[in-house]
A and B are shown apart, each in its own frame.
Chain A
């Protein structure tokens, strides 16, 4: 029987596409509906933040860190402030540390709500889960606005503490949110996780083996979904995480469904942490006085946190001047994209989009 002559189809999932989570381009070679090769092209949102940061003082660089991962600005601020404090040897008061933990976990809830909703949007549920998840995100963003004036690019943390103390209406509203959230999360789990079509789409697709994940510097929910129990809040605690009781959710085989499970459960654990932090919040100062042009001693420092996307680290090198000599961001979204080809080759186009959605990248962080 003669061989059927086929030609691979090269499709550009171009920078403008409803599902690439930003301006991200994938050059996909398809054989019918099967993916044969994926080549990623990024850099459409490259704003040269690392170069710009070398011209500005350490405090002036804090707004840059909001705009890298613009959907979780609090954690970006936090990682940078920890790195600068480590470099300069600055102590943070306890109240500020508790506030940092509260806002980082609130940011995690907001981010995961959005991530799960958008993942289901990629699976084809026309924005219905997004609308449900955004209800809680709106309440979290109201808390942010009440405290620091901004919803998205918060610019809240400062080197040595936080910029504003929480106002009076914060505690009752935050407590109400924390009371209401576990029921909501249970509602979302009941609505979403047992759905047959979602399981047929998300199980056994986009599988990432654990050893490939480790070799590829994958971190965050993607790494935990493969079965590796690694969370920087437990392994290398910063702020006051060592005083908090919480668990870390771990998946089974690294497919898209496991990432969904891990993110759902992380929202619940964040609620636990926020509840404990709100109870234990001590009075006191919320920032330390640092000079306007902070001159850290010559040296280098690397500080990392568990951001909602993964391990976010800042590598700062100082030469004694008010501006950093080198400002490098260890971006979790860029490194989580490393095994994308191995995760999607052999599956269909539909799975490629769903897998990309489940990794939860943020182009501001990938490109910086």
Chain B
């Protein structure tokens, strides 16, 4: 079974290598601050014990006042997985550093996040919209796209019988 490395262990290893990275720990994941993302990512890839050379999934969640970027990283040789998160704090024009220099697999996933969420990745070699055309107004997966003020979803206000 793939072992999910708990947040505390990941945080301890990151602190040992990069003491000035600001971390928040949770049970399953570690939140790192955006300026240290690339350094932490490089450490996670190159550390022989962690060896996270395989980026399983990179995605983003709109948390209404900030964006949260989620990185699921795994190591094929050691068969473990760990979760790294970071926050893009500005909700209007969010920015985050790109991890494409660390893992090439981030290339289409970051383009998708830019296209659908609007997060600009600095350092991405080819940041263009991937699904929608250039000139599309807005970023669809944001909670306030086609939504009522305050980010509330239209429809399905309550479900019958429950």
**Interface residues, chain A, with chain B CB atoms under 8 Å away:** 42-43, 46, 48, 50-51, 54-57, 212, 214-218, 228, 230, 235-237, 291-293, 295, 302, 304, 311, 313, 315, 317, 322-323, 325-326, 328, 330, 334-335, 337-339, 367
Contacts and interface: CB of A to CB of B under 8 A. Distances in A.
A347 B59 CA distance: 33
A328 B69 CA distance: 12
B116 A293 contact: no
A54 B153 contact: yes
Contacts of B61: 317, 325-326
Interface of B: 1-2, 53-57, 59, 61-62, 70, 72, 76, 79, 103-105, 107-109, 112, 116, 129-133, 140-141, 145, 153-156, 159, 161-162
Contacts of B132: 43, 46
Given A42-B130, A335-B109, A215 B56 contact: no
Given A42-B130, A43-B132, A217 B56 contact: yes
Given A214-B76, A237-B1, A293-B162, A55 B103 contact: no
Contacts of B116: 50
A337 B108 contact: yes
Interface of B is mostly: loop
9 contacts: A43-B129, A43-B130, A48-B140, A51-B145, A56-B156, A293-B162, A315-B59, A325-B61, A339-B104
Contacts of B155: 55
Contact of A323 (B1, B55, B129, B156): B156
Nearest to A342: B104
Contacts of B107: 216, 338
Contacts of A217: 54-56, 103, 105, 109
A291 B54 CA distance: 37
Contacts of A42: 130-131
